Structures are given as structure tokens and as C-alpha cells.
Amino acid sequence: MTRMSARYRGECAVCGNVIKVGDDIDYARNIGARHWMCQPFIEPEGAIWISIGEGYGGQPFSVGQIVHNDPRRVEKGEPLYLYVLHAKKSYVRDDGFSFGVGDESGYVYSACTRAATDEESAPLRAEEQDEAARIAARLALAQIERRIRDDGEYPLAPDTTGLTVILDKRTIYGGGYAWATQPGYVWHLDGNGGDGDNWSSNNVGSSIGRRLPDPDGSLTATVQRLLVEAGLKATDDVARVVALRNSLRYGFYDTPASGGAEEFARQVRAVLAALKTLSKRASAEAVVEAWGDRLPDNWMTILTAESAN
Ligand SMILES: [Zn+2]
């Protein structure tokens, strides 16, 4: 091995990355060139090699990374979580499908690993559990939505007092959906404000709203919880700010029955008070910015004044 400055562009025999002209390299005729930092990897006994092609969604591995082993290999007795000791990649120019690239050409990423300790795999396990909980919550929400579609009420001119949108996935094109709550009810709203939509079906703003009675508030609590668990909604005060903004945007506070501007003022103050207790997640200034020109001039003044306190 000779340490020298690279005269040609090439590929590192250890890490597989590019060697640029002028890089410091170790070179030997029979081994080739490698970055001077890239010392040859010595594989420990019992190491587990894994690889995945770019065409199968593979990404480069990195040393110290914790990865989930292939379930079929786990079934054969290999550990579930692996710690990457050494990573490499090789480029396949032709016939990539025969070499596991998953495409005509591309990279195959490989890693030499060992079993991860419980401590090492804890963050990834937590992430996977969260993901499983998210999926379960989304399924549970879909079931409640199905119940509302099948058995829910579709009142033509509902009293929308206290109706609060808690998740708004309606689009600027008039489609999408939203979840809303109201004392005694849970609502599911289908956006129906598009150009080709039949607006005469709309019973809640520019949406078709269906509701299920919720006399004891348990369904409301369940939906609130599921939206957070499904990762669709932030918690606490941030969510309240967004819900208020959405209520304003869709005009629920325009009607005298809903309490009008005074009720809105009360809620804005409550939210601002809550915001002050938040650490750095949101500031009252951010609320002003988020609401922007949807706020009448005098509300802007009130918000700005209150957020300065
Ligand atoms: Zn290298």
C-alpha cells in the first residue's frame, strides 16, 4: 500500500464512493485504491450480511444504523433488529434484475451487521409501535366514518351552535373531508363546494354533513383521541388554534345562533392564554400570521395587542 494523491477519478474499494482527482488515497496494484480514511473492514465471526437493491426501495446503509431484518430471515432464526457495522454499495450497469437491483441498472446496497442490543433497537421499536398504532387508529376512524355514512343523520338545516371542526382535510377545490364535534353529536363533513357539485345538498357551510348522536360525549372523546393517535392532528392548544381558524374560515361564527363575533372573541382570548403556556411550539404572533387577512382589521389589532402582553 502506498499513500498518494489520486491522479484519476475512481471508486473506493472499501466504501464504494467516488475518489476525486487529488484525494489522498492508499493504493496497491492488486487491491486498488481506497480513501486513506477507509480502512479495510474485518468481518467479525457470526456477522449477518444484508442487501437491498435500489429498485426495491433500497437506500444506502450507514455504520451504526439500526435496521429491521427481513421477516423471512427472522423466521429462520435470525435476529429481528440489526446493527450496521459496515456499509457498501455496488453499481450494476446491465442485467440488474439478475443481481438484485430491482431495475435494469442501479445500486445494490449491502451491510455487514450483528444483532442489535435491546438498548440499540429501542428507538426503532418505539417508532414501529407508533406506526402500528397510527394504522390501527386510522382503521378505527374509517369504521366510525362508515357508521356515520350508514346510520348517521343528514339534517337539512341543522343548528350548528358549538360546531367545531377538529380536523379539516377539505381542499381549496371544494372537496375533501372534515371531522367536527358539537355538544351531543359527532359530525363527518364531505366538502361539496366544487364547480360541478350540487350545492343544494350542502347543509353545513359548503359541505355535506352527517352526524351521529353522542349524548354522553364518549364518541367525541374517542374521535379526538383517534385523530391524534392516527397522526392526523396535533394535540392540545395547537389543535385548538387550528380548529378555531377553520371555524372562522368556514363561517360557523357568522350566524347569530353560534354566538357570533363575541363568542369568537372569547375563544380567541382563551386560545391566546393557552398559547402563552406553550413553550416554543407556537406563538401568538404565529396565530396572527396564520389567520392573516381572514381576520377583520379590528381582530388583527386585538390579537396583536394581546399577543404583545
Ligand atoms: Zn472510501
DSSP string, 252-277: TTSSGGGTHHHHHHHHHHHHHHHHHH
Distance 104 CA to ligand 1 centre (A): 26
Q: Is residue 285 scored above 60 in pLDDT? A: no
For residue 289, what pLDDT is reported? Answer: 53
**Span 109-129, average pLDDT:** 91
| pTM greater than the 0.75 cutoff | no
Report the distance separating Cα 111 and Cα 43, nearest Å: 11
18-19 vs 164-168, strand pairing mode: unpaired
Greater pLDDT, 308 or 143: 143
CA distance 112 to 119: 20
Q: Which residue has the higher pLDDT, 88 or 83?
A: 83
In this predicted model, what pLDDT tens digit does every residue of 211-265 receive, in sequence order?
A: 999 999 999 999 988 988 887 875 554 555 555 555 555 444 443 345 556 666 6
Express each pLDDT in 172-204 by its tens digit.
Answer: 788 889 999 999 999 999 999 888 888 899 999
| Residues 40/56, Cβ–Cβ less than 8 Å | no
Give the Å distance between the CA of 114 and the centre of ligand 1.
Answer: 22
Residue closest to 51 by CA, chosen among 24, 89, 79, 14: 89
Report CA(62)–ligand 1 centroid distance (Å). Answer: 13
DSSP state, residue 117 = P
| Length in residues, the chain | 309
C-alpha distance across the termini of the chain, in Å: 69
pLDDT of residue 293: 46
Percentage of the chain beyond pLDDT 90 is 44
Q: How many CA atoms lie within 13 A of 283 on its CB side?
A: 8
* Centre of ligand 1 from the C-alpha of residue 66, in Å: 21
88 Cα–ligand 1 center, Å:
9
Residue 271: what pLDDT?
58
φ, ψ at 255 (rounded to 5°)? -90, 140
Ligand 1 centroid to residue 287 C-alpha, Å = 49
